[in-house]
Chain A
Amino acid sequence: MPTFGSFSLLLALALSGYTLLAGAVALRQLATGARARVTPEKLAETARRAGIGSFVATTAAAFALVWAAFNNDFSVAYILHHSNRALPGPYKFAALWSGQEGSLLLWAWLLAAYGFVLRLRHKVDVKLTAYASTILAGIQVFFLLLLNFAAMPFSLVGGTVPQDGFGLNPLLQYPEMVIHPPMLYLGYVGFAVPFAFALGALMMRYPGEKWIHITRRWTMVTWLFLTCGIFLGAHWAYSVLGWGGYWGWDPVENASLMPWLTGTAFLHSVMMQEKRGMMKTWNVWLIFSTFMLAIFGTLLTRSGLVSSVHAFAQSSIGSWFWAFLIIVLSVCLFTFILQRDHLKADNKLESLVSRESSFLFNNLVLLAACFTVLWGTLFPVLSEYVQGNRVTVGAPFYNRVAVPIGLFLLFLTGIGPLLAWRSSSFKSIRKNFVLPCIAGLVAAVVVIVCGVHPWEIFTTDGQGSFYAFFAFVLAAMVVTAISAEFLRGAGVISRHTGQGLLASMVQLTRRNTRRYGGYIVHFGVVVIFIGIAGSAFNQSKEQELGFKESLNIGPYRLECQSYSQDSNANYDTEFALLDVYRGGKKITQLAPEKRFYIASQQPSTMVANHSTLAWDLYVIYAGKNPDTGQPIIKVFLNPLVAWIWIGVAIIVFGTGVALFPNMTAALAASRNRVQSAAVADALPARGGD
């Protein structure tokens, strides 16, 4: 099987190389009109088919690696280092992306899969798809070169093959690890598609904005995958790392956030290009940057440029990524310089108080957030270069610098949709803003009465209450603004059709799925902000708990019922059984544990969490007192965390709605199809060409 895998990778490289070369030659012939023995159309078609073939070959290679994992083929070095016999089946499957070589193979396979779908759907626009296919093949060649010559997943173990593997990193032995990396990679890799279309459209001086229509769904789906990947990662960190938080501003977390921020900016500003023919250069560079940041994120993870808790993925292939990044940047710059006259805007901004300018400011803030994350991630390297010593740029920096930017963004999320295109009159601003402002004031009073005092920033060192106060107030304003938009539209439909308000809202959403799906996504973002604001009021307590001893935190009392140890083929475990009481009534039993994985000889925390809408009771088995043999239990009371995951679910729903075609468009399309069919039936059959 390793031989089959290696051969498949070589074949995939050859086929991708052919797609790149033949595609480039065909497109050059088409552009210059040069005559050749094989027509450019035929050559492009062979390139397309080779691209499809490369997907089959890459799939075969990925299958070979998974097969080797499931069959405990420890002659393959990658399987030896990332699996063992006792590893449960799903984690053997996850071994595909648990290490350097495997995760690069996953990159290549997902890229090939995206390319496969794109090439199958080439009739959407044959020429533009040919450009995009060729560019994607170029990216694919890079990853396949890496897999064939620098990070080979099918390398064999020298000498005697060990009977068992070294096992999977314990931190990765958690159900979400089976889905989090593929989601993240689907997001990272997916941005290659709008990037390829944008670069292709610029190369061929594509007339109009149709390329945006073609790539809209690609971009949204990719963005959704990246969003889910990031939050699955946050949930994994929360559930596995056991430090009571979900985001540690680790360089690798930052690496996933940067393309998300620029991708979000692109999703917004691209609407300006569609509707008003503006910001063409900006949009092209946004999608270029998004793709390059995705590559840069991978470079950060792999090269060891910055220190990270994700150190398991570091190696020396950083130079390959640097070279690739420089090539991509050069191609983008060269194409832009050659074709920049094609990107002249059709219109210009007419007012600072307009929908267009709100998009522009939203983009600025998103880019500022991206810069902050990038700056904070790279500052230690810069400091070492300038001062001769590294500094750490961790959570306190981001809390002070990035959080205010995030709150400004939340503010813009609320006011943007209330402004009219081109220019907003004072009357309409007053009319649209009165209700959200009242809601904000009411929220401010309620929040202060509930004990959130923003002025505490002057008396203590923590900024938590200050930021939380503004997050709650802005959230109230944005939710009111979004609700008012829905209610106003639904009210009009309700009066004209006699439908109930809820049915009218559904109809309203179906009439303009993109707009109202977008509002739902914004609502999800607000809910996430509320959840994050709760972290300002986290409490924690650590205590040694003997039999029948208890610990009080917030409204909860935890009583130790027993503590013991156990073991199985995969790990040894120590755990405590804790009864949780609230108001004197037992509500649940929690069992935090500490595992020690035998194959990898590494420990891992298994957090016990009782989650409610108000707060999470998050319990960790911190260890055992060597003198008494009793467990040390650490408890966190984390308010509002559940709302973060609810917010993500709302974002997924909203994006799903926005991906649906509008009701009127769908009806028109089906009407057109019926009419075309009727016309085709009525026409006499003609000779084919």
Chain B
Amino acid sequence: MRRISVISRVLMVVLVAVLTMGAADNATRYNELGHKMMCACGCGQILIECNHLGCPDSDRMLGELRTSLSQGGNDESILAAFQEKYGPTILAAPMLTKFNILAWIMPPILLLLGIAGTMVLVRRWRLRTAALPPVQRSVQFQGIRDRIHRETEL
């Protein structure tokens, strides 16, 4: 019992260490958050990548992002604040909320269902297929097989 407790404590420490290891600095977070939002000017570009001449929004928005980071907000609160100010289209991808979660789960669910369905189908087909009669392994036939193996190395 004591051993389990020690192991679980060690695991907890390792987990916390892994999760906090190299916690992103502000420059990294600026880059990551800048890639999670769109420019509000309607150019359809990721905020940090918006580069068109005289864009009325990207510089101001990036400035707001820098300010939010320096004020110590976490990623979720910063994204929520931008969403509040600019509307839901400002996020480059839907958040995992209510209906939006469908956007994320539908493709993998469909793929898994497809794979599972195919496996079931193949299994049913295989069970229905009548067993083939055993191959006649005459000396001559075996000779041909050996020659094919020798020549093709398959």
The chain A residues found within 8 Å of chain B, CB to CB, are 242-245, 248, 250, 307-309, 348-352, 357, 360-361, 364-365, 367-368, 371-372, 375-376, 379-380, 383, 386-387, 389-397, 400-402, 405, 428, 455-456, 458-462, 488, 491-492, 496, 594, 596, 603, 605, 620, 622-623, 634
Contact = CB atoms under 8 A, between A and B. Distances in A.
Contact of B18 (A250, A375, A459, A491): A459
B107 interface: yes
Given A357-B122, A460-B22, A491-B153, A395 B50 contact: no
Interface stretch (B5-13, B63-71, B109-117, B135-143): B109-117
A244 B38 contact: no
B49 A405 contact: no
Contacts of B51: 242-243, 605, 620, 622, 634
A342 B49 CA distance: 53
A425 to B, nearest CB: 11
A491 B150 CA distance: 12
Nearest to A404: B108
A396 B111 contact: no
B151 interface: yes
Contacts of A352: 119, 122-123
7 contacts: A248-B45, A394-B93, A395-B92, A459-B20, A488-B153, A603-B53, A605-B52
A405 B107 contact: yes
Given A397-B94, A459-B19, 19 more contacts: A242-B51, A243-B49, A243-B51, A348-B125, A348-B128, A364-B111, A364-B118, A375-B106, A379-B103, A391-B94, A393-B93, A395-B46, A395-B92, A396-B35, A397-B104, A461-B32, A492-B153, A596-B53, A620-B51
A379 B111 contact: no
Chain B residues touching A, majority SS: helix
B38 A392 contact: yes
A262 to B, nearest CB: 14
B47 to A, nearest CB: 10
A486 B95 CA distance: 47
B103 A350 contact: no
Interface of B: 18-24, 28, 32, 35-36, 38, 42-46, 49-54, 75, 87-94, 98-100, 102-104, 106-108, 110-111, 114-115, 118-119, 121-123, 125-126, 128-129, 151-154
A488 B152 CA distance: 8
A371 B88 contact: no
Contacts of A492: 151-153
The 3 closest A-B pairs by CB, nearest first: A368-B111, A603-B53, A394-B92
Contacts of A364: 111, 114-115, 118
A491 B151 CA distance: 10
Contacts of A459: 18-23
A247 to B, nearest CB: 12
B126 A368 contact: no
A182 to B, nearest CB: 25
A488 B151 CA distance: 11
A623 B119 contact: no
B74 to A, nearest CB: 12
Contacts of A243: 45-46, 49-51
Contacts of B44: 248, 250, 307-309
Nearest to A394: B92
A23 to B, nearest CB: 38
B19 A389 contact: no
B110 A392 contact: no
Contact of B126 (A250, A351, A396, A400): A351
Nearest to B152: A492
B89 A391 contact: yes
A390 B129 contact: no
A600 to B, nearest CB: 13
Contacts of B110: 368, 371
B111 A375 contact: no
Contacts of B125: 348-350
B91 A392 contact: yes
A504 B44 CA distance: 52
B131 to A, nearest CB: 11
A577 B110 CA distance: 52
A308 B44 CA distance: 7
A401 B87 contact: no
A250 B46 CA distance: 11
